[in-house]
Structure 1
């Protein structure tokens, strides 16, 4: 059985081990995503990838299924069973690879592979900077929780409205989503010690990985809009 000692109540050695394992798993998740995405881009026909964007109702359904599946993956990643935790993380990585297929394909064809690399580097730099602020600042970032929840519901409403009624959300929406993703990373990093036990580093890494991918999506979208 796994222990349920909060990181905040653990000794310094266990705290350090938790943070080390969490960020190692974040890095491995990113590498796994790159590998799975590369395989999918080679194996999945272009017609099927473009079909995901061609019909807005299909894309809305895909996002709905993705949201429900991500909730399930998050639940698995926080299980008491280590194998279930890894199953949840692996399942979520595959989900992200599927949802990113159209964006990566379009970016490669119309903006060039360099834009993907630039977006990845910007995402990593922003994540590192935000994490540094969260770990070194003595400020309480718990107030961001309500901001993130409200912003999340508003963004989901706008995305659904855009798909149903066919209007483009534009550049400023992507900028707003970058800010929301950054705030989420800041909040999640600041509460790691109070939200997880020392054995829940897989679940913690999934949450951070999800926010990094959200940040990457909209940074890539912004860079692509500048190339068009």
Structure 2
């Protein structure tokens, strides 16, 4: 996807698939439909991540070490953030408007970078990690406070999305070191 606008179209399609899957999972009590929605979401993630990880593996020296380190850091952060919510039982729903504004700003920066041809750089990746961390706090809090025991599929969908966002931008931070 060397063409920036093709990449933006792909990301837009991914966002639509994610939105559709989330709505589908939340609007039905039928577990089969919820699993179908989760499958749609996982397929969309795979369509994004498999080619990108393939490029990293093919073109980045010591890519296995880089991906392993990124996975360890991501899982450590995810575990720590989730533990904070489970231990404190704090309601992080106040983060919703902050995260919404942050994600719109990020999308605007991504579009501006694509149109005007500038690299977003390390600090953008750090900012996206902060947004992803906030999203993990928010989604884990939702899991505890807003979802019932039978809504584990929609809860997993939102939490997995936040985890994968964190993973991608931690990879970006590791890549920027070279």
* Band the TM-score falls in, shorter-chain normalisation: over 0.9
Superposition pairs of residues 137-152 of structure 1, within 5 angstroms: 137-152=88-103
Q: What is the TM-score of this pair, normalised by structure 2? A: 0.93
Q: Pick which of 65-74 and 101-110 moved more.
A: 101-110
In structure 1, stretches of 5+ residues that fail to align are: 1-51
**Aligned partners of 2:51, 2:142: CA distance in 1, in Å?**
33
1:170–1:61 CA distance, 2 compared to 1 (3 A): same
Superposition pairs of residues 1-228 of structure 1, within 5 angstroms: 52=1, 54-78=2-26, 79-108=28-57, 109-111=59-61, 112-227=63-178
Measured after TM superposition, the shift of residue 138 of structure 1 is: 4.9
SS in 1 for 2:118: coil
Measured after TM superposition, the shift of residue 64 of structure 1 is: 0.8
Tell me how many residue pairs correspond in the alignment: 175
Contact 2:21 2:40 in 1 (8 A): yes
Contact 1:185 1:211 in 2 (8 A): yes
**Aligned partners of 2:123, 2:51: CA distance in 1, in Å?**
21
SS in 2 for 1:191: helix
Q: Which of structure 1's runs of 4+ aligned residues deviate more than 4 A?
A: none
Contact 2:91 2:145 in 1 (8 A): no
Measured after TM superposition, the shift of residue 197 of structure 1 is: 2.2
Q: Which residue number corresponds to residue 23 of structure 1?
A: none
Q: Which residue number corresponds to residue 47 of structure 1?
A: none
Q: What's the Cα RMSD here?
A: 1.3
Which structure has more RCO (C-alpha within 8 Å, separation ≥ 6)? 1
Please identify the structure whose Cα radius of gyration is greater: 1
